[in-house]
């Protein structure tokens, strides 16, 4: 069997004159987690909607589970699971009532459904809340319910639109454990997120900004690409320094972290000299200055500033 879960080739979606997604291409094998990163309104949700078969692309092609997004959207719907950004199950139904309803919609036979519900309840640890009204679950449990609801019919691909937004760190960790288990069982996961430490958990990540994919790669490769170009400076007064340094030649962007700042530069050695000189002139006290390796957040902000300039 073909090992490609999702194959997108120059997927484009226009709304009137506005291009929401512009020639997005990537491929995702089964058993791996694809992190889709980008600011709000960058085109993440539109891409997901096209891949889920609920929005036809204006141009380009895509295969999801081997089905064409243009012509076989109904088949795609049976092959995928979807976890939306906002809790979209019925909050006045209990955990099992929700699962039963969706299981029936996905065409599971009554006996299969019963077994399957037990399986997913155990998998997620939700069995102790099985008769609780969904509205009374905490954010983390709600999201777990949404995830097990999406895997009831054993889809081989799951789309998760910001599955951990607004959820506490401990619940987030256990949700990711659940996602890893799914990936291990051969399911392909397509995850959008704003959290950089979550992006690091993905096998492949793609940055989308204003409708275009800017970079695709493993987290390590992406970080490697810009490491050596980051200068960490501890100095005071910080905000004044940030204003001064940002005007220096060769500086792409500055991100302030508490008492230090990361300066993205084109040439590390040249910028070091310029920063030191400017600090002296403007009476800025530099405590330390060293090149560091990038985090994904740096990668993200560099990419975004590069696109703006």
Please report, as ranges, the residues that interact with other proteins according to CB under 8 A.
52-54, 74, 77-78, 80, 82, 84, 86-93, 97, 100-102, 104-107, 159
Considering the complex, state which of residue 37 and residue 134 has its C-beta at the smaller distance from other proteins: 134
* Cβ at position 1, least distance to other proteins in Å: 22
CA-to-CA dists, residue 16 to 13, 20, 39, 53, 58, angstroms: 10, 10, 22, 20, 10
- Measured from the CB atom, the residue of 82 and 195 that comes closer to other proteins is 82
Burial 160-192 (b: 16+ CB within 10 A, else e): bbbbbeebeeebbebbbebbeebbeeebbbbbb
Rounded to a whole number of angstroms, the minimum distance from the CB of residue 254 to other proteins is 38
Q: Compute the least distance from the CB of residue 102 to other proteins, in Å.
A: 7
**Nearest distance from C-beta of residue 131 to other proteins, angstroms:** 13
Distance CA 95, CA 135 (A): 10
Is the CB of 74 or the CB of 283 nearer to other proteins? 74
Give CA–CA dist 62/68, Å, rounded: 6
Q: Which is nearer to other proteins, 60 or 103 (CB)?
A: 103
Is 271:234 a contact under the CB 8 Å cutoff? Answer: no
Least CB distance from residue 294 to other proteins, whole Å?
A: 35
DSSP string over 190-221: EEEES-HHHHTTSSEEEEEETTEEEEEE-HHH
Nearer to other proteins, 91 or 285 (CB): 91
């Amino acid at each position: 069997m073909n090992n490609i879960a999702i194959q997108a080739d120059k997927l484009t979606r226009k709304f009137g004159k506005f291009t929401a997604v512009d020639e997005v291409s990537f491929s995702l094998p089964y058993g791996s987690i694809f992190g889709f990163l980008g600011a709000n309104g960058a085109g993440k949700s539109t891409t997901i909607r096209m891949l889920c078969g609920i929005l036809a692309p204006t141009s380009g092609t895509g295969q999801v589970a081997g089905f064409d997004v243009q012509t076989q959207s109904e088949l795609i719907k049976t092959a995928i699971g979807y976890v939306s950004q906002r809790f979209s199950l019925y909050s006045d139904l209990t955990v099992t009532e929700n699962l039963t309803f969706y299981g029936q919609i996905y065409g599971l036979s009554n006996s299969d459904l019963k077994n399957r519900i037990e399986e997913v309840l155990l998998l997620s640890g939700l069995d102790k809340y099985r008769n609780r009204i969904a509205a009374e679950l905490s954010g983390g449990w709600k999201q777990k319910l949404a995830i097990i609801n999406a895997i009831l019919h054993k889809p081989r691909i799951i789309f998760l639109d910001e599955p951990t937004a607004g959820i506490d760190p401990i619940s987030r960790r256990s949700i990711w454990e659940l996602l890893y288990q799914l990936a291990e069982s051969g399911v392909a996961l397509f995850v959008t997120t704003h959290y950089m430490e979550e992006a690091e958990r993905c096998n492949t990540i793609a940055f989308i900004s204003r409708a275009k994919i800017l970079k695709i790669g493993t987290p390590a490769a992406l970080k490697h690409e810009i490491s050596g170009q980051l200068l960490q400076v501890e100095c005071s007064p910080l905000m004044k320094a940030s204003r001064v340094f940002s005007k220096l030649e060769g500086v792409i962007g500055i991100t302030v972290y508490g008492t230090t700042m990361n300066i993205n530069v084109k040439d590390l050695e040249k910028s070091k000299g310029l920063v030191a000189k400017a600090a002296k002139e403007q009476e800025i006290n530099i405590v330390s200055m060293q090149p560091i390796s990038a985090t994904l957040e740096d990668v993200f902000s560099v990419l975004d500033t590069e696109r703006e300039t």
